[in-house]
Amino acid sequence: MFDSFFQSILVVAVFGGLIFFHELGHFLGARLFSIGVKTFSLGFGPVLVARTFGKTRCQIAAIPLGGYVALVGETPDADIPEPFTQEESFALRPAWQRFVVIVAGPVFNLALAWFLCWGLLFATGKVELPPVVGSVRAEAPAALAGLAPGDRIVKINETTITRWEQIPQFMQLNQSAPIAVTFERADLGTSTVQVAPAQMEQTLPSGEKITSWVLGITSGKPIHTPLGFMEAGAAGIEKAGHMLRLTWDGLKGLITRSIPASSMGGPIGIAQIIYKQAEHGATDVILLAALISVNLGMLNLLPIPVLDGGHLMFLSFEMITGKAVPLLVQHKATMVGLALLLGLMLFATFNDLLRIFS
């Protein structure tokens, strides 16, 4: 548990750590091919602390909402400052080398999510919720259908249930349609009952209110399984992969409008969630940091000029055709992408403020 001061420090630490690993990917990608790096910056705006290592100026700036790695010769006509040489120019390298440097940032974010999950699973073991009913709310659909604590749910309609997480996932897809719940009870054997889910409003950690469909049951006790180092690594890949699928489903939902645009959040909303999750302990914060890292990696891979994905799109065209996208086209596309990104950030910030003051 953390008090308010340490919760605030934790918010800054999570933001800073995720940005650091993203930029570290770009930095190490550049150094892999001996490309010069002028500046490695955490944050924007006025510089608070700066120190030079080799030829690279490393700094921490006042606005901790991003960071950047400034490469030598980012465009063909860029000046090469001393003490760098023409051979260290980024723009003069083959397209595939530039591709590796750009993609390394998002890849490092995805790898960080895996490492966080790996370390957490090695330290705490794997926690699984079996599909066993822990409690039943009075007058809820499950209670009216006859479900009781201790019942093991084995099937919903034709779907076999092996994990508790499958139950709420099925409910959100099925919504209000009546379902057949097959369960096992020690003194009764296997039975099947018809249940009509109920609608319930919930408040997320961000303050947003959402509507969900429920049976009125909670899970039983979790099962803790210790994991060895390599087992935890394999389980970490599975956990990070699940986060990746969640992020992809969220992006698809926003595009297809199955998820309302009002659910979008920005840095303020993320900071709120980190702050509140810190109340529950370090485990929840680490899992949240892994999820945000996956989000950061995925969003940066979107083919929007100004993001890493936009640069990768231009470089892919160059590698396929053998010709670079004209600088004028890149410049105009980047301006459009920048306007789109700023618009999305303003909209997300508006949503964050609306949730705070509503």
pLDDT digits (tens, 9 = 90+) for 2-54: 567 677 777 878 888 899 999 999 999 999 999 999 999 998 889 999 999 99
CATH of the domain at 141: 2.30.42.10
70-127 residue pLDDT tens: 999 998 888 999 999 999 999 999 999 999 999 999 999 999 999 999 999 999 888 8
The whole domain housing 158 covers 128-224
What tokens were used for 113? 């999510």
8-12, 164-168, 226-230, 330-334: least confidently modelled range: 8-12
Number of domains in the chain: 2
Do both 260 and 340 map to the same domain?
yes
Q: What is the pTM of this model?
A: 0.79
Are 159 and 166 within 8 A, CB to CB? yes
Q: Please say which residue of 161, 195, 224 terminates a domain.
A: 224
Whether 23 sits among the annotated catalytic residues: the reply is yes
Residue the block writes with tokens 């996932």: 169
Residues 150 and 196 in one domain: yes
> 135 pairs with which residues across the strands?
218
Q: Based on the domain organization, do 98 and 158 belong to the same domain?
A: no
Residue 12 lies in a domain: no
Question: Rounded to the nearest 5°, which phi and psi values hold at 283?
Answer: -60, -45
| CB-based burial, 159-191: b 16+ in 10 Å, e otherwise | eebeebebbeebbeeeeeeebebbbbeeeeeee
Round to whole Å and give the CA distance between 1 and 274.
Answer: 13
Whether 184 is covered by a domain: the verdict is: yes
Of the candidates 212, 202, 356, 357, the one whose C-alpha atom is nearest the C-alpha of residue 273 is 356
- What is the b/e burial string over 282-292, where b = at least 16 CB atoms within 10 angstroms of the residue's CB? eeebbbbbbbb
The residue from 23, 74, 82, 231 that is catalytic is 23
Q: Residue 43: how many CB atoms within 10 A of its CB? A: 20
- Rounded Cα gap, residues 141 and 261, in angstroms: 31
For residue 113, what is the DSSP state? H
**Are 322 and 316 within 8 A, CB to CB?**
no
